[in-house]
Amino acid sequence: MTEALDAIDRAILNRYQGDFPICSRPYQEAAQTLGISEEELIKRLQRMLENRQLSRFGPMYHAERLGGGLSLCAMRIPEAQFDKVADQVNAFPEVAHNYARDHRFNMWFVLATETPERIDSVLQEIEQQTGFPVYNMPKKKEFFIGLKFEV
Amino acid sequence: MVLNDQDYQLIAEIQGGLPLCSHPYAEIGQRIGLDEATVIERIQAMVDSGVIKRLGIVVRHHELGYTANAMVVWDVPDQRLDEVGEKLGSLDCITLCYQRPRRLPDWPYNLFCMIHGQERGKVLGYIDQLVSSQGLDDIPHKVLFSGRRFKQRGARYQ
């Protein structure tokens, strides 16, 4: 970790992973519930963004409701070719994130496309470029989860 | 809700993040030629209708010390899927729980959940514990820890 979080940082993180106010001065309203000033809240968010402890501060969209496509995909890549294939896959702007995992299926990435139809064509392009099959595992059902990631 | 062109413009404008200033919605409005009240009204409508799932902080688990990121996959008999999915989803440590298609014969697992922890040992201990406490001993599962992370960004919309 780049820099330790103090109690106020944690309170901000635990309170505002959702439900950020939508009003004229939202930082002021949020700061009030946290017992700090608007200016301090803004400064702390800025610092945590710069330290890359936060990925973003803003909306998380529901891709399907925006009319886009979203899917989790997996590949089995021999170790010796892994880095090369990872570069090829990551070069696609539709690849939102990509993790190596310790399994025969060792590459897992999320595809986010502007239309649902585009998922299949990107998959085909990835298969053609890399020479390996892509296993497409789109979400069929989402089970309810509490919102927060507590720090 | 039905999204209009203006909404898509707004969606694109704030996807990278809200401005960090005292009147962020007015600031966004200025950039795309809308007044503050309209920006507030449209963003509220998107939250209410679920187009925006959440508005606020998106954390980077890894940078916050949660380096043991486990994807736990289960091969659940179809008739038990809802029961098991709801059980797992209700547990505090589980941050996502989805049904996904099996890819037979290579991939038999149809329920995926994510657990973020600070150490692998603890995460594995937690999984053992939940298997026995939730009566999941007869459901085959696998734990896939993440290794290197190559890319993390939100989806982009235009």
- Can you tell me whether residue A24 is helix, strand or coil? coil
| DSSP letter (8 states) at residue A113 | E
Any domain includes B101: yes
The model's confidence at residue A148, banded by pLDDT at 50, 70 and 90, is low
CA Rg value for chain B: 20
Any domain includes B157: no
Mark yes or no for CB contact A142/B157 under 8 Å.
no
Q: Reply yes or no on whether the pLDDT at B105 is more than 50.
A: yes
Mark yes or no for CB contact A139/B99 under 8 Å.
yes
The answer for B 78-97 residues in CB contact with A (under 8 A) is 81, 85-86, 88-90, 92, 94-97
Any domain includes B54: no
pLDDT at A54: 92
Q: What dihedral angle (degrees, nearest 10) is formed by the CA atoms of A122, A125, A127, A129?
A: -140
* Displacement of CA A53 from its chain's centroid (Å): 13
Any domain includes B56: no
Domain count, chain B: 2
**Shared-domain flag, residues A67 and A39:** no
Q: Is A10 touching B (CB cutoff 8 A)?
A: no
- Do residues B51 and A61 touch, judged by C-beta distance below 8 A? yes
**Shared-domain flag, residues B103 and B33:** no
**Partners of residue A76 in chain B, C-beta under 8 Å:** 106
Query: Encoding tokens for residue B88?
Result: 């797992």
Q: Is A138 touching B (CB cutoff 8 A)?
A: yes
The answer for B 119-138 residues in CB contact with A (under 8 A) is none
CA Rg value for chain A: 20
**Shared-domain flag, residues B41 and B70:** no
Any domain includes A132: yes
Q: Is A22 touching B (CB cutoff 8 A)?
A: yes
Q: Reply yes or no on whether the pLDDT at B60 is more than 90.
A: no
Mark yes or no for CB contact B101/A62 under 8 Å.
no
Mark yes or no for CB contact B59/A151 under 8 Å.
yes
Give the tens place of pLDDT for each residue, A108-142: 999 999 899 999 999 999 999 999 999 999 999 99
Angle, helix B5-14 to helix B36-49, in steps of 10 degrees: 90
Any domain includes A151: no
**Shared-domain flag, residues A33 and A97:** no
The model's confidence at residue B67, banded by pLDDT at 50, 70 and 90, is confident
**Shared-domain flag, residues B79 and B118:** yes
Mark yes or no for CB contact B55/A58 under 8 Å.
yes
- Do residues B75 and B108 touch, judged by C-beta distance below 8 A? yes
**Shared-domain flag, residues B70 and B45:** no
Give the tens place of pLDDT for each residue, A18-71: 999 999 999 999 999 999 999 999 999 999 999 988 989 999 988 878 888 999
pLDDT at A3: 73
Nearest CA in chain B to A24: B23
* Beta carbon pairs, A and B, within 8 Å: 230
**Nearest residue to A113 (alpha-carbon basis) of A68, A55, A49, A74:** A68
* Displacement of CA B86 from its chain's centroid (Å): 16
- Nearest by CB to B65, which of A1, A100, A102? A1
Output b/e per residue, B109-121; b: 16+ Cβ within 10 A. bbbbbbbbbeeee
What amino acid is encoded at B106 in this protein? D
Any domain includes A18: yes
**Shared-domain flag, residues A44 and A91:** no
**Shared-domain flag, residues A86 and A31:** no
Return the bridge partners of B34, or none. none
Any domain includes B155: no
pLDDT at A34: 97
Query: Encoding tokens for residue B22?
Result: 């005292």
Note down the domain range covering B35: 5-49
- Do residues B59 and A45 touch, judged by C-beta distance below 8 A? no
**Shared-domain flag, residues B45 and B67:** no
**Shared-domain flag, residues B82 and B122:** yes
Any domain includes A127: yes
**Shared-domain flag, residues B119 and B96:** yes
Any domain includes A84: yes
- Nearest by CB to A58, which of B16, B90, B107? B16
The answer for A 70-109 residues in CB contact with B (under 8 A) is 70, 72, 74, 76, 86, 90, 93, 95-103, 105, 108-109
pLDDT at B152: 60
**Shared-domain flag, residues A46 and A95:** no
Lowest mean pLDDT among A119-128, B26-35, B140-149: B140-149
Mark yes or no for CB contact A97/B49 under 8 Å.
no
**Shared-domain flag, residues A129 and A99:** yes
Mark yes or no for CB contact A61/B88 under 8 Å.
no
Domain count, chain A: 2
**Shared-domain flag, residues B12 and B85:** no
Q: What is the ipTM of this complex?
A: 0.79
Any domain includes B92: yes
Of residues B90 and B81, the one with the higher pLDDT is: B81
Mark yes or no for CB contact A101/B156 under 8 Å.
no
What is chain B written as a DSSP string? ----HHHHHHHHHHTT----SSSHHHHHHHHHT--HHHHHHHHHHHHHHTSEEEEEEEE-TGGGT--EEEEEEE---GGGHHHHHHHHHHSTTEEEEEE---BTTTB---EEEEEEES-HHHHHHHHHHHHHHTT-TTS-EEEEEEEEEEEE------
The mean pLDDT value for A1-15 works out to 86
H-helix segments, chain A: 7-15, 26-34, 38-50, 82-90, 117-130
pLDDT at B10: 96
**Shared-domain flag, residues A126 and A76:** yes
The mean pLDDT value for B96-107 works out to 96
pLDDT at B2: 84
pLDDT at A66: 85
- Nearest by CB to B152, which of A28, A55, A66? A55
Q: Reply yes or no on whether the pLDDT at B80 is more than 80.
A: yes
